[in-house]
Amino acid sequence: MAYFTAGTYTRPFIDASGNLIPNAIAEERSVMLGGVEQYVLMRGKNRQAPLLVFVHGGPGASETPFLRTHNAALEEDFVVVYWEQRGAVHSYDPESDLSKITIDRLTKDLGELINVLLVEFGQEKVLLIGHSWGTVLALEHVAAHPETVASYIAISQTTNQADSDKEGYEWALARARESEDEEAIQRLEAIGYPPYTIEQFITQRRAVSQFGGTFMDGSSDLELAFSMIRTDEFSWPDLITFVQGTDSSGAALWPEQKNYNAYQRHPSIDVPIVMVMGRHDKVISPTLGKQYFKVLEAPEKELIWFENSAHGPPFEEPQKFNDLVRQTARRLGLLKSP
């Protein structure tokens, strides 16, 4: 069973006098999706506002703390839904059946969640945002149920996993050689080019992160951990389930993830798409993302570069990202122009 760690909570919305805002929503819930209880945080200053559903990366790596730190301003205009996928942090269950952590099952979980939200809030469609690994689930849902999505904002869209990992490997190895980091050179030369085992994939990702391909400011794991626990909805014990969830989910999904190819699976979709890419991203190839954008058939499509970002545009350039989300919603008629 999924659980919430004691000591976390989410703050209510209050006015300048300290009174509760009557039509706001600030709730942590356990929602049954695909027969498994999963954590969902819902926050919005007006529960009649458009629904914005965020699909986090990983696998198994909740981004709720980063979103709450950098992008909470979106709660002024939307009911923001922070879902932690089965196997991730507050949805982590050490006794869960890992054979059910698959792309298909997690995509169906997302679909069930969206249906629950649409019924409860009396809306027809959601604004769907996916990041990194989350773009796999978001794209799969968009392809299967376009009628439930007003627009899809894809941040660092996964296109061809193997080719992307090859690019990241070459970049990290070049940086290691430039900096004469013999330890990193040996680790990278030992794994070589994809295809990777999950252990080799983790080695590649750690090297990419070490040389600034994840966050341009070179944030360390410890710095990221401190930023996570500073949010109300996260605590020190959650760091343990965070690691356990990423390890178990990553291992369970890697046989599918390593072969994922959006070009083959989805050459077209029936939903407007905004593709967001960090210019300096070495985790997911923006070059491949741009190529996919060119060939993808969609009712409307827009490509937005974040020039001062690597893999985390919402967190590295939050004001620009928040404005982009609002502009997209206004173009769709979900929000009124200011």
Sign of CA dihedral 126, 128, 134, 136: positive
Residue-level pLDDT at 220: 62
Model pLDDT, residue 2:
45
pLDDT of 219 above 80? no
- Arithmetic mean of pLDDT, 185-198: 97
pLDDT value, residue 121: 98
* Alpha helix positions (H), the chain: 64-70, 103-121, 134-144, 161-178, 182-191, 198-210, 221-229, 236-257, 262-265, 286-295, 313-316, 318-332
In which residue are the tokens 């500073």 written?
A: 230
CA distance 106 to 85: 7
What is the C-alpha separation between 292 and 270, in angstroms, rounded?
15
Cα–Cα distance, 219 to 85 (Å, whole number): 25
Q: How many CB atoms lie within 10 A of CB 85?
A: 30
- pLDDT band, residue 337 (cuts 50/70/90): confident
Tokens (6 digits) for 329: 């919603």
Q: What is the pLDDT of residues 132-167, one digit of tens each?
A: 999 999 999 999 999 999 999 999 999 999 999 999
Residue 107: what pLDDT?
98
Burial-class residue 16 by CB neighbours within 10 Å (0-12, 13-18, 19+): exposed
pLDDT at 244 over 80: yes
263: left (phi over 0), alpha (psi -120 to 50) or beta: alpha
pLDDT given at position 222: 63
Cβ(31)–Cβ(38) below 8 Å: yes
Q: 14: helix, coil or strand?
A: strand
Task: Find out whether 13 and 26 touch, Cβ atoms under 8 Å.
Answer: yes
Residue type, 320: K
* pLDDT of 41 strictly over 70: yes
Point out which residues pair with 43 in neighbouring strands. Answer: 26, 80
Residue recorded with tokens 């996928």 = 85
Handedness of CA 280, 262, 66, 12 (dihedral sign): positive
CA 237 to mean position of chain CA atoms? 22
Could you give the C-alpha distances from 169 to 35, 55, 74, 261, 283, in angstroms and in order?
Answer: 38, 26, 35, 18, 9
Q: Cα(265)–Cα(81) distance, rounded to whole angstroms?
A: 27
The secondary element (H helix, E strand) that includes residue 274 is strand 273-278
Q: Tell me what pLDDT residue 227 has.
A: 80
Across the chain, what does the average pLDDT equal?
A: 94
Type of residue at 242: F
Q: Tell me phi and psi for residue 319, to 5 degrees.
A: -65, -45
Instruction: Summarize the chain as % helix, strand, coil (round to 5).
Output: 45, 15, 35
Indicate the Cα dihedral angle 2, 102, 215, 182, nearest 10°: 110
pLDDT of residue 280: 97
